[in-house]
Amino acid sequence: MKRDQSQNSRLVYSSELGRICPDCGKSTAGCICRRKPAQTAGDGIVRVLRESKGRGGKTVTVITGVPLNDEALKALAGELKRRCGTGGTLKEGSIEIQGDHRELLVIELEKRGYRVKKAGG
């Protein structure tokens, strides 16, 4: 079903096309505006925070603000998951590591030359 863009539609997913870019209205694979995540143009500080809200009580360590492209960010996520000995994922420009590994990740990221700050509680 096609929607008219003039209706102020906020379509974000289509079973036909997958994820939809909110700016141009095309699938993310065919996005013409090449929208970048807001965190790539951050202040140069990598933030490491613990999050459990909306995750069924499970704790996740989230790393945001890493100034890398998608391929390098994916490689870094893999290395950090191996370092922590746990699973994780890469979502919308942020790395999510299962469990509370803030101390270890702050030390590891500082060794790699990033300015790191613990955020949240």
CATH number, domain with residue 60: 3.30.780.10
Q: Which residue has the higher pLDDT, 80 or 11?
A: 80
For residue 39, the model assigns a pLDDT of 40
- Same domain? 9 vs 66: no
Its domain, for residue 78, covers 38-119
User: Average of pLDDT values for 87-114?
Assistant: 91
- Is 93 a residue whose pLDDT tops 60? yes
- 86 and 46 in a single domain? The answer is yes
pLDDT of residue 79: 93
Q: Same domain for 64 and 111?
A: yes
User: Is there a single domain that holds both residue 63 and residue 13?
Assistant: no
Compare 43 and 57 and report the one with higher pLDDT.
57
More confident residue, 116 or 15: 116
Distances 31 to 23, 27, 44, 90, 97 between C-alpha atoms, Å: 9, 6, 27, 20, 29
**Same-domain pairing of 11 and 68:** no
In whole angstroms, what is the distance from residue 60 CA to residue 50 CA?
Answer: 6
- pLDDT above 70 covers a percentage of the chain that reads 80
User: What are the tens digits of pLDDT across the range 49-85?
Assistant: 998 887 888 899 999 998 888 888 999 999 999 999 9
| Count of structural domains, the chain | 2
CB hemisphere CA count around 70 (13 angstroms)? 4
Domain shared by 55 and 24, yes or no: no
Do 25 and 44 lie in one domain? The reply is no
Rg (CA), the chain: 17
